[in-house]
Chains A and B, each alone.
Chain A
Amino acid sequence: MNDLLIDQLVNDLNPKKPLLNKSLWKHCTICLVAVIIVILSFMGLRLDHLAAMQNGAMFWKPLIFFTAWLGSILLITDISRPQGGLKKRHIIPLVTAGMVFLWQFFMQRHSFSWDDITLALNHTSALVCVSMIMGFGLMTMIIIWKYWLLKTATEHPTLLGGLAGFSAGCLSATAYALHCNHDTILYISVYYILPILLLCLMGAYMGRKFLRW
């Protein structure tokens, strides 16, 4: 019986490319560059880019999401194989992103009055931000899913799916941060992190359902 199975498996054998981490990096980098090109071509760089460069907002805002994206990709590569486990050093980029976020939180703490919060959160362009991050994030997630996740064999399907959603959200947030001129940390906390979390939850649910093997 088993020999019959071995015969069938041998007859079914065809060459396969091993799942190498550089493939994921390649696809994700192409996605990031493509999303940046699309956003800059159709929406343009933020209007106040010179002032934003001087006050640093042009750098720290994309940096938060870029480092988080780097960290999530490293963690995805860690757990994509059966014998894989999370490496502690790969959490460093995520911690860095968190620290930059906290640094800005403390820098902007003087503007945490009720009026400022209302002003920051009631902006009309918030829906555009959320839908852009969600839209580009979903497209990126589909690509990651097709070219990487379906080929993996993880022991943590929910975590892998969640990380894929998180990474896709961070990627689109990095690109969109180059166009968006809302730099208040409250605005970022709600309208950037909300779609990322939604993508993360969606990925975790899909991972739990479809990445079992």
Chain B
Amino acid sequence: MQATLSGDQTAYRLLLTDLRPWLTAYFKKRIHHNTVEDLVQDTLMTLHHKRQTFNPDYPFGPWISAVARHRWIDHMRKTLKYVETEIDENHPSEDHKQDECAKHDVRTLLNLIPETQARMIEMMKLQEMTVAEISCQTGHSPSSVKIMVHRGMKKMMAAVEDIKVEDIKDE
């Protein structure tokens, strides 16, 4: 880099060629693969324009790292609203696994209570329907809908409590 500042073109070419794979690896860890090449080129151009800010009394590594980090942050600022995420169906995320487990638990609990109560709870808690809507759809009065949901929930809570007690006994 010191030779570069004095105008040595051979040293400069060597420096840029050596830096290219390092920068590519640096950005590959941080951003989407499509934009890595753009950012590498952008960083090389920044290095060219701001090369006088390199102080020959200090090592080159921290300086180029700071330049690359600056370019990366700048890129993130510009593209923050377009976050790219790839959904891989074969490898579901932890959240996805948790959702599936919760769905399974709810289905199991609903099977433990009478069918009418389970249907009411599903409509009210999962489909977020109002009491009036459920009443219209099922033909039951609003107060009986409320009672059935309440009783069903109570039975489900009791089932959960039983499972907890059994688990403690097993331990």
Seen from chain A, the residues whose Cβ lies within 8 Å of a Cβ on chain B are 1-2, 5-6, 9-20, 80-83, 151-153, 155, 213
**A1–B37 alpha-carbon span in the complex (Å):** 9
Whether, in the assembled complex, B50 has its beta carbon less than 8 Å from a beta carbon of chain A, the answer is: yes
The answer to whether B50 touches A9, judged by C-beta atoms less than 8 angstroms apart, is no
The answer to whether A18 touches B63, judged by C-beta atoms less than 8 angstroms apart, is no
Mark contacts of B49-68 with chain A using CB atoms, 8 A cut-off: 1 yes-contact digit, 0 otherwise. Answer: 11111111010001101110
The answer to whether B50 touches A82, judged by C-beta atoms less than 8 angstroms apart, is yes
Closest chain-B Cβ to A89's Cβ sits at a distance in Å of 18
**B residues near A13, Cβ cutoff 8 Å:** 4, 7, 9, 12, 48
The answer to whether B16 touches A9, judged by C-beta atoms less than 8 angstroms apart, is yes
The answer to whether A151 touches B48, judged by C-beta atoms less than 8 angstroms apart, is no
The answer to whether A12 touches B41, judged by C-beta atoms less than 8 angstroms apart, is no
Number of interface residues of B (CB under 8 A): 32
Whether, in the assembled complex, B104 has its beta carbon less than 8 Å from a beta carbon of chain A, the answer is: no
Q: Which 6 A-B pairs have the closest CB atoms?
A: A82-B66, A15-B7, A83-B66, A153-B50, A153-B53, A16-B52
Closest chain-B Cβ to A4's Cβ sits at a distance in Å of 10
Whether, in the assembled complex, B45 has its beta carbon less than 8 Å from a beta carbon of chain A, the answer is: yes
Q: Closest residue of chain A to B24, judged by CB? A: A2
Whether, in the assembled complex, B13 has its beta carbon less than 8 Å from a beta carbon of chain A, the answer is: yes
Whether, in the assembled complex, B127 has its beta carbon less than 8 Å from a beta carbon of chain A, the answer is: no
**A151–B49 alpha-carbon span in the complex (Å):** 9
**B residues near A80, Cβ cutoff 8 Å:** 53
Mark contacts of B63-94 with chain A using CB atoms, 8 A cut-off: 1 yes-contact digit, 0 otherwise. Answer: 10111001000000000000000000000000
Closest chain-A Cβ to B1's Cβ sits at a distance in Å of 10
